[in-house]
Amino acid sequence: MNDFSSDAANVASTRPRARLGLALLLYFHVFACCLSLVYVAEFYVGLQIAFFDTARLYAAALNAALFSLVSVVFTFSRFSFGYFLGFYLYTLILGYLWLVEFSKFPYDHTIAAVSAFVSALAFLVPALFVTAPIRQRFVLSTRSLENLLSAILIFAATVIVAGALYNFKMVGLAEMYAFRGELEFPAWLRYAIGVTSNALLPFAFACFVARGNRWRAAAVLLLMLLFYPIMLTKLALFAPFWLLFLALLSRFFAARVSVVLSLFFPILSGVILALLVRPGALRIEQIVPYFGAINFRMIAFPSVALDFYSDFFSTHRLTYFCQILFLKPFVDCPYTEYLSVVMARTYQLGNLNASLFATEGIASVGPMLAPLPAFACGLVIALANRLSSGLPSKFIMLSGGILPQVFLNVPLATTLLTGGAAILFLLWYITPRSMFQEEDSDVARTA
């Protein structure tokens, strides 16, 4: 049977033995994350943003151990986009609950930790367990889908050309920060770049993989790579390789295991490199390109950002969602600049974007009420689950593969509107499920 068009593996993964294996993997993931954060604190001590103190080790370990109990929801829930995103945000909160015990900031750490714990639960419950399908009232025909995919490739090429007219610099990762501050794109182009790179091209890639069209799938990855000299971000550079990594995982593992391994393998690799520094087998300078990109920037920094937002809004006025563009005219906003700019000016770490827990939560209503917007955000992701219901797990994972990375560092409202998430959810809704059923029939006839 074609594993792309069938979710038999996902059904099988609900068996007790598979659940036990997944639970053990989740606990190994928790341990790897905590050990990774110890090395982040050691290697980046000069930045003064993450710390480790053996005197507070017991408290940090207790936080992580208690929160690890939440991972049981990932063993009993089925795969969905909410499962995919929920696991990434679970890892973010896990990191924060470890780091908060070593935080240098004077805000109330106990209240903040409890708020983060409850916010994670409030988000995960609807995001993982609300998956009932919504009736498709409009479905693309196979021919219309083919035309749409061709249009996406043409549109992406057009956006790349337009972006290159404003900026196109072939620079390394070390040099990109020197130029990124100079980037200026018109609003329409910023929206087009975000939607195309985060949603349209991954959707096209998943469709081409599903249809066995490898050359067009490769063309999509090449187009995605061309966004790097325009945007000068790590995500733009690594996005095509990330989709290939997800495709490889989903080929050999069940959907839920693939989700966990998609973070566990990269984190564990960084930890192994860090362990080799201790006996002198490697120097810190040799592992920084990997450890800095994955263990520090991708995994630890979203948790660190929550620490900074918690500190800032413990002494400054809350936004009450005025950072959301269409709400700003109706709310008295104490900030005239983007929150990322406000935070950059305060903490001197560059533009400090953060996840929904920091922006829709802490920044908007404070730690006491933060679980309420987290629950609302979970309902939004639950809607995405319902819109994608009936699609194969692998298709959802590949087409939505970039969005969890975006959600780690960007508010939900921004990701929906400018990051392309809302458009991807709509594409899931109108995608013909018959396309995958036909492939199953073809495989059955030739078996």
- Residue 307 and residue 166: Cα distance in Å, rounded? 35
Q: DSSP string spanning 388-423? A: HTTS-HHHHHHHTSSHHHHHTTS-HHHHHHTSSHHH
Q: Can you state the percent helix, strand and coil of the chain, rounding each to 5?
A: 75, 0, 25
3-state secondary structure of 208: helix
* Rounded distance between C-alpha atoms, residue 414 and residue 176, angstroms: 23
Residue 355 pLDDT: 95
Q: Is 164 exposed, middle or buried (0-12, 13-18, 19+ CB in 10 A)?
A: middle
What confidence score (pLDDT) does residue 2 get? 46
Determine the pLDDT at residue 9.
45
Burial code (b: 16+ CB inside 10 Å, e: under 16) for 369-394 equals ebbbbbbebbebbbbbbbbbbbbbbb
Q: What pLDDT was estimated at residue 332?
A: 82
Tens-level pLDDT at each residue, the chain (447 residues): 345 655 544 544 457 778 888 999 999 999 999 999 999 999 999 888 989 999 999 999 999 999 999 999 999 999 999 999 999 999 999 999 999 999 999 999 999 999 999 999 999 999 999 999 999 899 999 899 999 999 999 999 999 999 999 888 777 766 676 666 677 888 899 999 999 999 999 999 999 999 889 999 999 999 999 999 998 888 889 999 999 999 999 999 999 999 999 999 999 999 999 999 988 889 999 999 999 999 999 999 999 999 999 999 999 999 999 888 777 777 788 888 888 889 988 998 877 889 999 999 999 999 999 999 999 999 999 999 999 999 999 999 999 999 999 999 999 999 998 999 999 999 999 999 888 775 544 333 323
- Give residue 366's pLDDT: 96
Q: What is the pLDDT of residue 178?
A: 65
Q: What is the chain's length?
A: 447
Compute the distance between CA of residue 252 and CA of residue 262 in angstroms, rounded to an integer. 12
Contact at 8 Å (CB) between 307 and 100? Answer: yes
pTM: 0.93
The confidence score (pLDDT) of residue 441 equals 42
> Rounded to an integer, what distance in angstroms lies between the CA atom of residue 316 and that of residue 309?
10
Cβ pair 115, 368 in contact under 8 A: yes
Burial of 23 (0-12, 13-18, 19+ CB in 10 A): middle
